[in-house]
Every structure is written in C-alpha cells, then in structure tokens.
Chains A and B, each alone.
Chain A
Amino acid sequence: MSSNEVTMPRPDAAALLSAGVRAEIDTWVAKYPPEWKRSACMAALRIAQEGNGGWLTTELMDAVAAYLEMPPMDVYEVASFYSMYELKPVGRHKICVCTNISCLINGSERVVEHLEKRLGVGLGETTADGRYTLKEVECLGAVLREPDPRADRRDPGRAGVAPWRTKSASA
C-alpha cells in the first residue's frame, strides 16, 4: 500500500456535502490558482459547518478533505486551529462576548455575569433548549459598537458586545 492510500480520503466521502454546499465551495475554489484548491479549505469548513447546525463532525471534515483533495489530517489541523470552527454541537445562536482589554475596562465582566444569569449557563455552555451558546472571545474589533441582540453564529462581530453601552453594565 502506498502512503498516499493511507493518507488520502475516500473520494466518495465528498458525497456527504449537498449540491448547494458544493456549489458554494466552488465559488471559493475559483479564487485561487487551480493547483491550490486547498486554499478553499477554510471557506469549505465554514460552509459545511453552517449547513450542519453550526458544528463540524469528523465525517464532514473528511468530506471537505475528499472534495478538496487534501489529506484529512490537514483539514483536522485547520479545523482545530481556528476558534470559529466548532467541533462539538452548539446552540442555534452563538453569543460571543469579548472580555479583552477595552471591553474589560468597560465592565465586560458584568455583561458576562448578566448573560450567565439570564441564560442559566456558563461560558462555553449551551442552554438546555439548544437555543444559545455563550462564548468568551478575544477582541472583535468592535470596541465602539452598540451591542446587537441579533447574535449570529456567522458574525460574532455583530454580537460583539460593547459593554459600555449595555444597560446591565452602565456604571
């Protein structure tokens, strides 16, 4: 057996990706040189994750690997390196709260406390009804924005709570 057979995914694994998902991945593949399909790996993982209720299974990662002709190990590496990929089930909405320096100075701890009480879960946890996951994140480049309740797994930036304006945190 050549090492290639050991490390390459089964080609039919890609069948797990729906036609819509594959079409969307193709728009990303088209951006890069033909021999660099793997450049679309990050986009493919995001698209696959969105199509699966917000998280990635090993099968989905294998499917991405097969579709982009990459060794599965390389895809697992990418999926586990970046914080926006979820390798466990998450709620329908992900509420991301920044607790980094500018937010800390403005009372992000009180925002976290408020949300924990309100949702009845701690950081990194999901409500029992599967609606919300509360996540602590690093600076979202959102230090000036009003908090937006439309927490969205696609755009934690939108939920990038700028505590200085939230009711719970106004000193």
Chain B
Amino acid sequence: MANEVCFRLMHLPEPWRLAAYQSEGGYEALRKVLGGGMPQDQVIEEVKKSGLRGRGGAGFPTGVKWGFINRTAPGPRYLVCNSDEGEPGTCKDRDILRFNPHALIEGMVIAGYAIGAVAGYNYIRGEFWEPYERFEAALAEAREAGFLGKDILGSGLDFDIHTHLGAGAYICGEETALLNSIEGRKGQPRYKPPFPAQFGLYGRPTIINNTESLASVPEIIRRGGDWFREIGVANSGGPKLFSVSGNVARPGNYEVPLGTPFATLLEMAGGVRGGRKLKAVIPGGSSAPVIPGDVMMDLTMDYDAIAKAGSMLGSGAVIVMDDTNCMVRVLDRVSYFYYEESCGQCTPCREGTGWMHRVIHRIETGKGRPEDLDLLDDVAAKIQGRTICALGDAAAMPVASFVRHFRDEFAYHIEHRRCLVGG
C-alpha cells in the first residue's frame, strides 16, 4: 500500500484546498481532540503508541519528545515546524506543503494543544516560494473556517501559526540554528544542553518537529496510534516518504510503509535508468553513509535494517547511483557542500571540512598522494563527535564510508591520476 498518510489526497484534483481535505476526514482529528474527548496527555500517549519517529533525520520518537515539555511552568511555550529541507536529495516536505498543507496545519494545532503552546512557527526555506504561498493560502482558509486563531472550534483554545522564511543556509535545518534564525540572527547552532524543550525559541520551552512528522499526526489521532504503527515494522511505525533521485527512470517522492524492501521502492521509481547496474545507494540524504548496491538490494527501508547495514534512514532521500558514476567525483562535490555550508563556529568542523574537501579534490584532479586515504580517515574521525552540532558528523560520515567501500577506486585515482570508471 502506498500513499496512506501524508500523500493520501494525491488522487484528488486540487488536494491542497480545504474542501478537498475535509472531503476525506480532514480536521476530524482536531474535532475529536478539542471536542473534550482527548486530554493533552492522551494525545501524547497516542502519538507515542503510533511509533512515529522524527522524519527530519534523527528519528527521535515524536511522542517522547512532546513529553519533555513541562506544561506547569509559567510563561509561553512554542511549537516550531522545520520545513527547511536542506539535506541534499530531499524534496518531500516541499510536496507536503504543496499538496497537503492542511494536514500540517491540523497536525501543528494538535501538537500545539498537546504541549500547551501559545503559537507555532513554520520555518520554510527561502527557496520554497511556491510552497510558501500554498501554505499561506491554506493558513488563511483554516483561520476563516475557525480551525486556527482565537477560540478554535469554540473550545476556548487560542493558537495561531506564522510562517518564517529562510534565506539560503543549510545549517538552519539544525534545530537550534533554526531558532537563532527565527530570532533574527545568523543561523549558528547553540550548545546542547539546554535542549529546546527547556530553553528554545526566545528562551522559552519549545518543541521542534519536521514537517512530515507533524503532518502525520492528524491520521494518528483520527485512526489511532495502533493503526499507524501497524503500517510499519518493529521500531519503525507508519509509512515514510522517500525522495528517490539519481539514476532512476522515475525520480519522485514515494510514500510507502517502513519496512518496504528497497528493491520494491527502486521498482516504483522505474528501476535504474537504462537498465544499468546499480553501484551504490545513499539511503538517507547526503549525510548518510553510502551503501554498496548489492548490499542495498537485500535491505528493507526501516530504521533498524539501514542502521544494521551501517547507515541511516535520515531524511529519506534515497540517492541511486549506477556504474557510470565515479565515486571520487561524487564525494568531491559532497565534501564541497559541507565545507561551503559549515557555519564556521567550531574549529573541527570549519577546518576539517576544508581539509577533507581539499584532499578529495586533489585526488579527483590527479594530484592525490598515497597517504591521502589514511589522512581522510584520520580527519573524518577527528571531526566526528567533536563539534557543537551534527553538521560535523554529517560531513565526516560520507567521507569515511565512500573511502571504506570504494577504496580501490580512490587508490586507482591516486596511482593512475585518472578515473577507474569510463577509462
């Protein structure tokens, strides 16, 4: 079964409209919650039961995160949605904003209610102008219909949602950088602890979730946590959106149950383009370690299976590479990205990403040295776990994994000063 949650309206002509959303049970979950049927803790319990794990990359259980909020402390609390979607290869949140904005709005109101937030902010990356306009139009519809704003559905609940637009910085997807960005600063991450649940936006307790996480909430409440969990497999409740790109015949976003065999997903995306041989797959966005094609063909798409194979499900961006790709060239570009996007705040990341990129670039351009591969391993190991935020890890993991799995190709480049692929 595909398209059961975030993409469930895809068969409708204009799924982004309120009327379309309501024709398929939209805002029923909110009525169920605010009609007196569900106290805050019960909403949180239902989300815990669903097995929903954060879809932004880290996979932290959403209900557990909501439980960290202390609702009895005085003063305002905030809910923040992360629609920054900067992880290379990922384009799913864009399509939620474009095609199912009301699911996100309903999910945000329910989450806001559960944690007792006074307002919600949706941080949309600055490049997403069309999705931003769609989302704004949906907000207006929801306000007009009484699902948002003052005294929602006559329940006495006040909660509004505002959009904040980014302006081009990958690091703002990191949750504390994102908070600084909303506060009108450079997007540089904060030290953790304190975690946002204690000290977040404007120094207030804040919950941050990814777009897909929040857009999954209405169906969890409407159909039950058990229903959602059973779509997936153990430790991986529900379906997930996968953005399949690279050398496939039909690149696209596919919503499939967690635990779906990779081979099935690849087939949905039309298989490797031109019937070529599958060489490698990055299963969770460019920060996730690469997996050789033959290993990947035996894996299922869920948190545990991908972790066991040494990688991460991450944001669900599945980047498919056929045998025409030179892994040195691909890594050259990937390492440039992290070097370019490092916020420059901490030394291992700022200097280390530059080191790694320069070394990989010299291998790619025929100036590599025999000791370079050990040097790369060493630099990558010295970045990991030693930075303020996880961008350092995100930069180091691809380097370490490319060199590990395709060492021969790198060594050939260094020795022969040219590419093994395509002669």
By a beta-carbon cutoff of 8 Å, the part of chain A in contact with chain B is: 31-33, 36, 38-43, 45-46, 68, 70, 74, 77-78, 81-85, 96, 99-102, 104-106, 137-144, 152, 154-158, 160, 164
Contacts and interface: CB of A to CB of B under 8 A. Distances in A.
Given A101-B286, A155-B129, A164-B251, A39 B89 contact: no
A58 B86 CA distance: 29
B181 A42 contact: yes
B165 A42 contact: yes
A36 B129 contact: no
Contacts of B165: 42-43, 46
Contacts of A68: 184
A39 B167 CA distance: 13
A104 B340 contact: no
Interface stretch (B21-29, B227-235, B240-248): B240-248
A113 to B, nearest CB: 16
B126 interface: yes
Interface stretch (B62-70, B90-98, B365-373): B90-98
Contacts of B167: 42, 45-46, 82-85
Contact of B330 (A36, A40, A104, A137): A104
B333 A41 contact: no
20 contacts: A31-B121, A38-B183, A38-B184, A39-B182, A43-B164, A43-B165, A74-B184, A77-B186, A82-B166, A82-B187, A96-B127, A102-B317, A105-B330, A138-B340, A139-B86, A141-B91, A141-B127, A154-B129, A155-B129, A158-B129
Interface string B328-368: 01100110010011000000000000000000000000000
Contacts of A101: 88-89, 246, 282, 286, 319, 330, 333-334, 337
A38 B130 CA distance: 25
A105 B181 contact: no
Contacts of B341: 138
A139 B90 contact: yes
A96 B130 CA distance: 16
A42 B166 CA distance: 7
Residue of B186, B286, B334 most packed against chain A (CB within 10 A): B186
Top 10 A-B pairs, shortest CB-CB distance: A155-B129, A83-B168, A38-B184, A82-B167, A41-B184, A102-B245, A84-B168, A31-B162, A139-B88, A143-B245
Given A42-B167, A144-B253, A138 B182 contact: no
B88 A138 contact: yes
Interface in B159-201: 162-170, 181-187
By DSSP majority rule, is chain B's interface helix, strand, loop, or mixed?
mixed
Contacts of A39: 164, 182-184
Contacts of A138: 86, 88, 170, 337, 340-341
B107 to A, nearest CB: 20
Contacts of B251: 102, 143-144, 164
Contacts of B319: 101-102, 105
Contacts of B182: 39
Contacts of B93: 141
Interface of B: 85-91, 93-94, 121, 125-131, 162-170, 181-187, 202, 243, 245-247, 251-253, 282, 286, 317, 319, 321, 325, 329-330, 333-334, 337, 340-341
B286 A100 contact: yes
Contacts of B184: 36, 38-42, 68, 70, 74, 78
B83 to A, nearest CB: 10
Contact of A144 (B202, B245, B282, B325): B245
Nearest to B247: A105
Given A70-B184, A101-B88, A102-B317, 6 more contacts: A36-B184, A46-B165, A46-B167, A101-B333, A140-B127, A141-B127
Nearest to B325: A105
A39 B183 CA distance: 5
A141 B169 contact: no
Residue of B131, B168, B243, B253 most packed against chain A (CB within 10 A): B168
B212 to A, nearest CB: 13
B89 A102 contact: yes
B186 A78 contact: yes
Given A31-B162, A39-B164, A39-B183, A157 B127 contact: yes
